[in-house]
Amino acid sequence: MHTPSPVSALLILLVIAIAGCEKSTGPESASSTIVELPGCRPALSKSASPNDSCFSWQFSGSLSVDFCVLANCCPDSNRFAMSHVTDADSIVVTIADTAANLCKCVCRHWVHAEFQDLALNKYRFLVYLQGSASQKPLYDAVINRN
- Would 4 be classed as within a structural domain? no
Q: pLDDT (tens digit, 9 = 90+) per residue, 67-118? A: 999 888 888 788 899 999 998 999 999 999 888 878 888 888 999 999 999 9
- Would 31 be classed as within a structural domain? yes
- Would 19 be classed as within a structural domain? no
Q: Looking at residue 57, what is its pLDDT?
A: 96
Q: Which residues contact 31 (CB under 8 A, 6 or more apart)?
A: 115, 116, 117
Report the number of distinct structural domains present in the chain.
Answer: 1
Which of these ranges, 26-30, 40-44, 51-55, 136-140, has the smallest mean pLDDT? 26-30
Q: Looking at residue 43, what is its pLDDT?
A: 58
Q: Which residues contact 99 (CB under 8 A, 6 or more apart)?
A: 71, 72, 74, 75, 79
- Would 9 be classed as within a structural domain? no
- Would 111 be classed as within a structural domain? yes
Q: Which residues contact 120 (CB under 8 A, 6 or more apart)?
A: 89, 145
pTM of the predicted structure, to 2 decimals: 0.71
Q: If DSSP codes are grouped into helix, strand and coil, which group holds residue 46?
A: coil
Whether residue 137 has pLDDT greater than 50? yes
- Would 64 be classed as within a structural domain? yes
- Would 58 be classed as within a structural domain? yes
Whether residue 146 has pLDDT greater than 80? yes
Amino acid at 36: E
Amino acid at 43: A
Question: 125 is in which domain, residue-wise?
Answer: 26-144
- The Cα–Cα gap between 48 and 131 comes to 27
Q: Looking at residue 5, what is its pLDDT?
A: 55
Q: Looking at residue 103, what is its pLDDT?
A: 83
- Would 17 be classed as within a structural domain? no
Question: Which residue, among 56, 75, 63, has the nearest Cα to 33 in the 3D structure?
Answer: 63
Question: Which residue, among 102, 34, 45, 43, has the nearest Cα to 68 in the 3D structure?
Answer: 43
